[in-house]
Amino acid sequence: MPAVVLVTGGTGLVGKAIDYIIESEPEGSRFGKKPGEKWIFASSRDADLRDPQQTLQLFEKHQPTHVIHLAALVGGLFANRERKVCSDDLRVHIFSLTLFSPQMTFLRDNMLINDNVLHTARIKKTQKVISCLSTCVFPDKVEYPLTEEKVHLGPPHDSNYGYAYAKRMVDVQNRAYKEEFGCNFTSAIPTNVFGPHDNFDLKYAHVIPLSSTNVISRKNGTPFKVMGDGSPLRQFIYSRDLAKLFIWQLREYESVEPVIFSVDEKDEISIRQVANSIADALKYPGEAVFENEPKDNGQDRKPASNEKLMKLIGPDFKFTPFDVALKETVEWFLANLSNART
């Protein structure tokens, strides 16, 4: 069992979920803390991972035997579309810290972060690193469903190619480190993640937290407007389910090949359904108003197969139903309006 697990981006959406699962699972659980384990949830306050020296100092301070690498410069469709390379005046966060900086870039900053973490893990002889990718790494033009071997079969969608290429390179690096140095580096590819501790910023959040903030700000009677026409379909994964999958991968998966972390294809949900479900959960007096601009939709759908995951983790693993997970997320948001990331 791992002795010291360092979670980068550890105070963001997924890091908080891992912390919650590790501490709340009952004794003997497949996903709970094991005897002798030490978990460190690092934020950008602990180290700027774009800086190789600060990254090295973080590793030297904690001497991790294992790393779950979540830290990234992230944002929703409109942040990615507007700021593919230069993020001048873009308000963004590296999972755990919201910053204003003209130097931030989706492409360059993520490449720096990932390269520093993997390089430092190699020179410090870290036993295992799991990096978090995204389904946006997949080609725009590809036969569905998405499967792990299709990552590099063509260019990603032009709405987020900066972030997508930076994340795609992690898979390339993992394979190179494995081939040349024997490093046990691998990656996970989650679908759309949501849950407590998400980024609820009104402009640059992803669709579920964005819609939640939107509804709260419009309870004075102004329309709850949603960009696009509501038709795109997505697979949403609850952050606390995703946390369990990362813990499973840390302990039980030993291949360099990435694994898609997703609910089943049949559980795709339209953006229209998501927005109206949020309006209902937050008791908004009416339905969402869609602005019907197809250019704001992003990809129509990008169904991902979880067949490999389910064969590996086994049939006993169950995902939280979307309506239950959404209810828990909204309840957390309402209870934490004063300190949620908005």
Tens digit of pLDDT for each residue in 288-309? 778 776 666 677 888 999 999 9
Token pair recorded at residue 150: 């299709």
Specify the pLDDT at position 339.
75
Q: Which of 105, 83, 76 is nearest to 298 (CA)?
A: 76
Tens digit of pLDDT for each residue in 216-245? 555 556 677 777 888 889 999 999 999 999
Strand, helix or coil for residue 305? coil
What's the average model confidence in pLDDT over 318-326? 94
Tens digit of pLDDT for each residue in 99-122? 433 234 788 999 999 999 999 999
Q: Buried b / exposed e across 185-198, counting CB within 10 Å, b at 16+?
A: bbbbbbbbbbbbbb
Rounded Cα distance between 261 and 4, Å, is 24
Q: Is domain 4-195+235-267+302-320 annotated with CATH 3.30.70.100?
A: no
Specify the pLDDT at position 203.
56
pLDDT confidence of 6, banded at 50, 70, 90? Answer: very high
**Segments making up each domain of the chain, as ranges:** 4-195+235-267+302-320
Q: Which of 270, 273, 277 is nearest to 303 (CA)?
A: 270
Catalytic residue numbers, as ranges: 163
Pairing of strands 91-93, 66-69: unpaired
In order, the DSSP letters of 145-187 are SB-GGGTTSS---TTSHHHHHHHHHHHHHHHHHHHHH---EEE
pTM (2 d.p.) = 0.87
Specify the pLDDT at position 210.
59
pLDDT confidence of 81, banded at 50, 70, 90? Answer: very low
Specify the pLDDT at position 211.
60
Rounded Cα distance between 197 and 116, Å, is 26
